[in-house]
Every structure is written in C-alpha cells, then in structure tokens.
C-alpha cells in the first residue's frame, strides 16, 4: 500500500519557487490500477517521481508498504526502489546500443542476479510482452509500440509490486496505445499495482479509478464501474 499524507513539494531555483505539490493526499491499495490525469504543469510527474522514490518531498508523510520513506537513508531508499518499483516512461528510455535482451537485463545486473537466472527471467519477460524471438534486435529495429513493450519487460524483470507509468502511450498511435494498455491490464490482473499518468481520457476510463491533479492537489476522483462513472 502507498500512502501519502499532506505531501508538499517545493522546487527552489535561484529566481523562482514552485509549489509543485501541496497538501497532497492519496492512498493506493494493493492491486489497484489508477489513472492520473490533469493539466500540464499540475504536478503529475512530480507525484510519480516522489511515489517512485526518485525524488525527495519537502513536507508531509509518505509510507510505502508501511515503511516511512522519510526515515530511510539514500541506500535504504535505493534498495526499496529496486525491490518494489518499476518505471515506464513516455520516451521508452531504452539504451540504443544494447539489444533487447541486454536492455531488459540491466535492472537484474543492478540487483546482482546471476547470469543463468537473468537469462531465464529476460526470456520470460520477452515472452510475456509478446516479443519472444526478438532478443537480439536493437531498439531502433522495432516500432514504437514494440519498444514500449520492451520497456515494460525491463520494468517487469525486477518483479516489482508497483508499476509507475508516466505517459506510457504518449508517443504511440492509438492502436499501439490500446495494445500497451491491454498489456498493462493483464499485468494488473496478475497482481501488479499500477499508477499511470496519462492525457488519454479514453485509456483513463478503462481503469477502475481515476484521479485528477490540479495545482498540485488531488482535485477529484472518479470510480468507474462497468464503464459508468460513480462518484
Ligand atoms: P506535470 O507532470 O503535471 O506536467 P510536473 O510535475 O512536471 O507537472 O511539474 C509541476 C510544477 O513543478 C511545474 O510548475 C514545473 O514547472 C515545476 N517543476 C517540475 N520539475 C521541476 C524542477 N526540477 N525544478 C523546478 N521546477 C520544477
Ligand atoms: P540512486 O541510488 O539512484 O543514486 P538515491 O536514492 O541515492 O538515488 O537518490 C539520489 C539523491 O536524491 C540523493 O541525494 C537523495 O538525497 C535524493 N532523494 C531521492 N529520493 C529521495 C526521497 N524519497 N527522499 C529524500 N531524498 C531523496
């Protein structure tokens, strides 16, 4: 479970001060699939980066599976992130010189997993995203949708309990976007908790719970049941 209570985030540069999040409150239960929408600059990426332990917050309390993040040192935070969290980004963030196998292997090397086990897991993940047999292709030899599936495989390799996705379909045409969404739904059904930032209202409506962020706060949430909004 992910629990944020009165989270504030202040960005301070020489000239400007930006309150990116203010009194931000959110609980995400185990097994949920949540879509996060909101205007540009409203704090969606900031929220996701804090949730994923990539960025510190300025105030409030954040607990992940009961662990108070504010009490951890840098190493403990990195370990927790590697253990529990997978990321997917709009730009895929694959390493262009590495083939698919090597890209997916990166987080496993980082976690000190042995070669034989790495091979097994990479092959499983490629299979899971429908790209078995493409292990030795380079990212540039794939379509955008396929590259995003590789990025999802890489995120899955570490068997994360939480998958955080920042505009995962932002660079894809609508058919590929729907395919990636279907894959995320399958992952969610097999137990991964997913938080997805998106501008795509159609995809957002496919998830059971939507939250909207406006001016650094959760402005509204909607529960969809069988396609009908219930507030
Ligand atoms: P969104 O993802 O909803 O577009 P962001 O979380 O990226 O919004 O940004 C929220 C606000 O914080 C914006 O005003 C943005 O300019 C500001 N911001 C984001 N990152 C930084 C940073 N590294 N330094 C200073 N300001 C930032
Ligand atoms: P990595 O292990 O990938 O280098 P770290 O966890 O060490 O990343 O974070 C990099 C920097 O960002 C550290 O200096 C740390 O202080 C800061 N930081 C990252 N996440 C948080 C967080 N949740 N709370 C406080 N500081 C953070």
pLDDT in tens, the chain (231 residues): 999 999 999 999 999 999 999 999 999 999 999 999 999 999 999 999 999 999 999 999 999 999 999 999 999 999 999 889 999 988 889 999 999 999 999 889 878 899 999 999 999 999 988 899 999 999 999 999 999 999 999 988 888 999 999 999 998 888 889 988 999 999 999 999 999 999 999 999 999 999 999 999 999 767 665 444 444
Is the CB of 110 within 6 Å of ligand 2?
A: no
β partners of residue 9? 21
SS3 assignment, position 129 = coil
pLDDT one-digit tens code per residue, 22-46: 999 999 999 999 999 999 999 999 9
Of the listed ligands, the closest to the CA of 166 is 1
What's the pLDDT tens digit per position in 184-195? 999 999 999 999
CA of 118 to the centre of ligand 1 (A): 36
Dist. CA 200 → ligand 2 center (Å) = 30
The residues with which 153 forms a beta bridge, in sequence order, are none
ipTM above 0.85, yes or no: no
Ligand nearest to the CA of 79: 2
pTM metric for this prediction? 0.85
Residue 132 C-alpha from the chain's centroid: 23
Q: Which DSSP letter does residue 90 get?
A: T
The span from the CA of 162 to the CA of 195, in Å, is 8
Q: Whose CA is nearest to atom 13 of ligand 2?
A: 74
Nearest CA to ligand 2 atom 20: 55
């Amino acid at each position: 479970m992910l629990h944020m209570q009165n989270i504030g985030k202040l960005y301070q540069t020489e000239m400007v001060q930006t309150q990116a999040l203010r009194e931000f409150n959110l609980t995400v239960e185990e097994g949920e699939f949540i879509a996060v929408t909101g205007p540009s600059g409203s704090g969606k990426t900031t929220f996701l980066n804090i949730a994923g332990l990539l960025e510190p917050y300025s105030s409030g309390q954040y607990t992940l599976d009961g662990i108070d993040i504010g009490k951890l040192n840098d190493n403990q935070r990195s370990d927790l992130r590697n253990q529990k969290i997978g990321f997917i980004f709009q730009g895929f963030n694959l390493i262009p010189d590495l083939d698919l196998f090597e890209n997916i292997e990166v987080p496993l090397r980082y976690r000190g997993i042995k070669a034989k086990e790495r091979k097994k897991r990479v092959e499983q993940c490629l299979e899971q995203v429908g790209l078995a047999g493409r292990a030795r292709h380079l990212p540039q030899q794939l379509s955008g949708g396929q590259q995003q599936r590789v990025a999802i495989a890489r995120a899955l390799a570490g068997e994360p309990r939480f998958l955080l996705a920042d505009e995962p379909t932002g660079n894809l045409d609508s058919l590929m976007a729907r395919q990636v969404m279907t894959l995320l739904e399958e992952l969610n059904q097999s137990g991964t908790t997913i938080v997805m930032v998106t501008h795509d209202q159609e995809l957002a409506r496919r998830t059971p719970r939507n939250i909207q962020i406006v001016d650094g706060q959760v402005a509204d949430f909607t529960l969809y049941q069988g396609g009908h909004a219930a507030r």
